[in-house]
A and B are shown apart, each in its own frame.
Chain A
Amino acid sequence: MSEAPKPGRDGDAEVRRQSRRHTRRSFLTGGLVAAAGAAGWYWLRQASLEDGIPWPARRVLQFNERLTGALFSDKRLASTYDRSRAAEDPRVNGGIGLRTEVDPTAWRLQVEDAGGRNLSLSLDDIKKLPRTEMVTQLRCIEGWAEIIHWGGVPLADFAAHYRFGTRSGNAPDPHRNSADWWSYVSLATPDERYYVGLDIASVLHPQTLLCWEINGQPLSSEHGAPLRLVIPVKYGVKNIKRIGTIRFQDERPADYWAERGYDWYAGL
């Protein structure tokens, strides 16, 4: 589309004037918008921190959580692999909450809910439940991943067996009567130095295990003996080692890494 050309040198001068007008206006608009953008960026970076990150970024993480949490389905499973692909000597990462000695024979798992019910179980009690083996990829929030061969009991089966996880005390059914579940689960090491918070849907996912074996062998101390969580629908940080307490509650639980700037949900 061209503007009506005017003949002669005066026409040229007029076109140049017109061009300068367009250019001036555009650079002015662009400059103003760029300045507004820079101010917005400065504001974002200066906004008060909420658990380690500027609050607008925290709100967006929470928005992403609501969106992806609503789309979450426990029918969608993490890929499983052949045992031959599992790491022989899985990488060790993260020792918070594992610094003190723990006596596996004296260790007890405390299970509680916000209604005041509680249970105290030994590892042998838990091992009586039907054992499952699973080869899934552990995905660290740092960006690496490793295929690991786990052994343990699905947490959903554990909850059903001990009738824990529901307000009524009935066995939780992942597919029905979801209003009866406690909304969240809080897990902590015996020394309470490391703790994670989880949404109930992820906890009842069929691949979420209470795990006591890697490669068919009892867990080593640095991998979380005597009992750890394996939750392939979350980043590695949520796969808490050496569980001391499991608590079902409606209050959103504290989470060690979420308090340090990370996404609370950390769902995959």
Chain B
Amino acid sequence: MLYLEKKHPRLTRWSHWLNVPLLAVMIWSGLLIYWANDVYRIGYGDWTLFHFFPDWFYNKLELDASLAKGMAWHFLFMWLFALNGLFYVLYTFFSGEWRHLLPRWGSFREAWQVMLHDLHLSKIEPPRRKFNAAQQFAYTGVILMGAGSLVTGLAIYKPVQVGWLTALLGGYEWARWEHFWLMIGYVVFFLVHITQVIRAGWNNFRAMVSGYELIRQEKGHE
């Protein structure tokens, strides 16, 4: 028989979906700023595998020559991004939801098993609970990344007034580098996240919208 199970609290869902446009605007305006000094790459010495970013990328997305605009939007939406993140962390802490999200010592082994399973290298099914260990690492990690973006961002924004913080992060130029790679991290997270959501199917996705998951319970377990 079927029943509806409440999966994601309302405030978690609101915060999650609000973050989609907020992070998108932060990344877009961040790229407008990055364009003015686009020095990062993957490479070694004189050899460059990939330069962030090729001209076609800037042209296609119209990211060139808009530094002032990028700064204006970045320094407006930073408040909304930070407030939403702060709100989510406070809510998750005080509601006790963090118990579902925080990995434990045994989670390393389980996360490894889940990864092997999802890559079709192992037949061991992930455990059936709200979040498996791989999800716990991913979702806790991305929150820490969000905090990291705020901290590295502040260190670049006011490197004299919070000079101690900038120094702690390795100096002004390192803080900028860290801020950039956290952004790349969100993009990677996003791609994996979308793939996994598609694989998990409609019922799982719907639960992030409506809050409820449809569960079929077999006879004998009732």
Contacts and interface: CB of A to CB of B under 8 A. Distances in A.
Interface of A: 1-3, 5, 7-8, 11-12, 15-16, 18-19, 22-23, 25-27, 30, 37, 41, 52-54, 56-58, 60-61, 64, 68, 71-73, 76-79, 137, 139-145, 232-233, 257, 260-263, 267-268
B97 interface: no
B200 interface: no
Given A58-B72, A262-B71, A268 B158 contact: yes
Chain A CB within 10 A, most for which of B3, B6, B160, B215? B160
Interface string B118-159: 000000000000000000000000000000000000000011
Interface in B17-36: 17, 21, 33-34, 36
B209 interface: yes
Given A1-B6, A76-B160, 7 more contacts: A1-B5, A12-B2, A60-B75, A60-B76, A61-B76, A64-B75, A71-B161
Contacts, number: 120
Given A22-B4, A78-B160, A261 B75 contact: no
Contacts of A57: 72-73, 76
Contacts of B17: 30
Nearest to A18: B4
B108 to A, nearest CB: 30
Contact of A61 (B75, B159, B176, B206): B75
Interface residues of B, number: 42
B170 interface: no
Contacts of B214: 15-16, 19
Nearest to A58: B72
B72 A2 contact: no
A18 B211 CA distance: 13
Nearest to A141: B67
Given A26-B210, A143-B33, A53 B5 contact: no
B81 interface: no
Q: Is the interface of A mostly helix, strand, loop or mixed?
A: mixed
Interface string B157-173: 01111010011000111
B57 interface: no
Nearest to A79: B163
B95 interface: no
B212 interface: yes
B99 interface: no
B42 interface: no
B68 A145 contact: no
A68 B158 contact: yes
B41 interface: no
Contacts of B71: 141, 262-263
B148 to A, nearest CB: 19
Contact of B210 (A1, A23, A79, A137): A23
Interface in B195-222: 206, 209-212, 214-215, 217, 222
Contacts of B3: 2-3, 5, 15
Interface in B25-72: 33-34, 36-37, 39, 67-69, 71-72
B16 to A, nearest CB: 11
B161 A73 contact: yes
A262 B34 CA distance: 15
B176 A143 contact: yes
Given A1-B5, A3-B4, A23-B206, A37 B212 contact: no
A30 B160 contact: no
A19 B4 contact: yes
Contacts of B173: 145
B2 A15 contact: yes
B79 interface: yes
B191 interface: no
Contacts of A53: 68-69, 72
A40 B36 CA distance: 28
A37 B36 contact: no
